[in-house]
A and B are shown apart, each in its own frame.
Chain A
């Protein structure tokens, strides 16, 4: 039975006076890919921001590898192995692909440390453009770069916020393949995705948020057997 690598225990969050997350509780197991679904405004990105420390939880606990991290500053959370790839593909536009990657390198004790070469193996297109200014890359290449940049920190947990947003179908396919490979190598991942078919392909575990509450959570086997479970919470089809 895989251990819990990241746990949210009754996490609450506020934007000013607005109570946006209510008693969120779920766990990510080691080597698992958990997908966070929900309508816009349901609290998916807010959950990611709270996990990475960019938003302070107003109540509850977040435990990573046995340590409580919810009171730490975001830099320390990142260094402790929980890395966020936020929406928006914000690369360092004036640095080259190589420089973007090397800047993010951080040594940590993990079984297979990451290097620039390994990132290039995962995303060959990055190697083709390695000395190009990151601002001139296409959207898909930038998405691969920001994932690679997070990997250079040798994370235990990767938080991916809508990696396929705004990308052409072919590129979405390539980014998904990359994420799938990461899963195979044992990386634990929380994925926020609007693209339901990607979520279905990759996820081991589903958490559906609705107006800041956990509306449903369960193993993907359960979801595949009864896809209505999820769609009724997303209000689709």
Chain B
């Protein structure tokens, strides 16, 4: 069984600034990987390269054995890569159900149907309701995204990503801006995701992140400086120096 994610010697620069420096990373299928590091360490930039929004300068990215390095961004969802964003990028003028339905259309041939109205009792909408139920938002399915709270929007982000049955899920600061009670709801949602989906998460909330992580990679100025299991990384002097404090 090939690795869920295999990154070899990845490099990326913006002008003179090296945001990813000779980064190599391997994630096993079903793993729960946490990526931490100071702001500006290149964590989101790494995600952008894995999801294809950003082209790397050199190095390779392979997902479940498939080399995706040169593959266009819109094809990655079809290979099982899904992600959420730090800043919410939902469709504000549409209902929750429509948001999830649109996500499902992304990897379906049905997106090319041009002359038949998408009815509200379409199987896609019914499946969307099921997914919203999983994140506890079925009762809000007909509301517009702009009408629900920020915490609920974060949950819809996760529903969107899960709607495509991803084999590799990238969560970029899924708890950002959430209050304590909301964090717990989202934490439970993430824990409930089956092991058939490999998860890589960027997070600063140490309470949640540490309980989630099996392996932790610490990034600093675009390089991997510490990697290992939870105890190893948390107690490592470099981690404390650069990220956690003493």
Chain A positions near chain B (C-beta within 8 angstroms): 38-41, 136-140, 162, 165-171, 173-174, 194, 196, 234-236
Most buried by B among A40, A137, A234: A40
Docked CA distance A25–B150 (Å)? 26
Query: 16 more A-B contacts (CB under 8 A) besides A40-B151, A138-B39?
Result: A38-B179, A39-B182, A40-B177, A40-B179, A138-B40, A139-B40, A162-B177, A166-B173, A166-B176, A166-B177, A168-B39, A168-B243, A169-B244, A174-B245, A194-B179, A234-B181
B120 at interface (Cβ–Cβ under 8 A)?
Answer: no
Query: Which B residues lie within 8 Å of A167 (CB)?
Result: 39, 204
Query: Which A residues lie within 8 Å of B179 (CB)?
Result: 38-40, 194, 234
Sample 7 A-B pairs with CB under 8 A, ordered by A number.
Answer: A140-B39, A162-B177, A166-B86, A166-B177, A168-B36, A169-B204, A170-B38
Given A40-B151, A138-B40, A140-B39, the answer on whether A170 and B245 have CB atoms closer than 8 Å is yes
Given A138-B39, A170-B243, A234-B181, the answer on whether A165 and B149 have CB atoms closer than 8 Å is no
Docked CA distance A196–B36 (Å)? 21
| Minimum CB–CB distance for B2 against chain A, Å | 32
| Contact between B38 and A140, CB atoms less than 8 A apart | yes
Given A139-B39, A140-B38, A140-B39, the answer on whether A170 and B178 have CB atoms closer than 8 Å is no
**Majority SS at the chain A contact face:** loop
| Contact between B178 and A40, CB atoms less than 8 A apart | yes
Q: CB within 8 A of B149: which of A41, A171, A235?
A: A41
Docked CA distance A41–B151 (Å)? 9
Query: Which B residues lie within 8 Å of A174 (CB)?
Result: 245
Query: Which A residues lie within 8 Å of B173 (CB)?
Result: 166
Query: Which A residues lie within 8 Å of B178 (CB)?
Result: 40, 194
In this complex, what residue of B is CB-closest to A236? B180
Query: Which A residues lie within 8 Å of B39 (CB)?
Result: 138-140, 166-168, 171
| Minimum CB–CB distance for B133 against chain A, Å | 22
Interface size (B, Cβ < 8 Å)? 25
Please count the residue pairs between chain A and chain B whose beta carbons lie under 8 angstroms apart in the complex: 65
B193 at interface (Cβ–Cβ under 8 A)?
Answer: no
| Minimum CB–CB distance for A18 against chain B, Å | 11
| Minimum CB–CB distance for A207 against chain B, Å | 15
B242 at interface (Cβ–Cβ under 8 A)?
Answer: yes
Docked CA distance A165–B149 (Å)? 17
Q: Mark B205-246, 1 if CB is under 8 A from A, else 0.
A: 010000000000000000000000000000000000011110
Given A170-B244, A170-B245, the answer on whether A196 and B38 have CB atoms closer than 8 Å is no
Interface residues of B in 145-186 (CB under 8 A from A): 149-151, 173, 176-182, 184
| Contact between A168 and B37, CB atoms less than 8 A apart | yes
Query: Which A residues lie within 8 Å of B86 (CB)?
Result: 166
Interface residues of B in 1-56 (CB under 8 A from A): 17, 36-40
Query: Which B residues lie within 8 Å of A196 (CB)?
Result: 180
Docked CA distance A14–B87 (Å)? 26
| Minimum CB–CB distance for B216 against chain A, Å | 13
Docked CA distance A196–B206 (Å)? 13
Query: Which A residues lie within 8 Å of B176 (CB)?
Result: 165-166
Docked CA distance A208–B180 (Å)? 14
| Minimum CB–CB distance for A89 against chain B, Å | 10
Query: Which A residues lie within 8 Å of B184 (CB)?
Result: 236
| Contact between A40 and B37, CB atoms less than 8 A apart | no
Given A138-B40, A139-B40, A140-B38, the answer on whether A169 and B177 have CB atoms closer than 8 Å is no
| Contact between A40 and B38, CB atoms less than 8 A apart | no
Docked CA distance A167–B40 (Å)? 10
| Contact between A168 and B204, CB atoms less than 8 A apart | yes
In this complex, what residue of B is CB-closest to A39? B179
In this complex, what residue of A is CB-closest to B177? A165
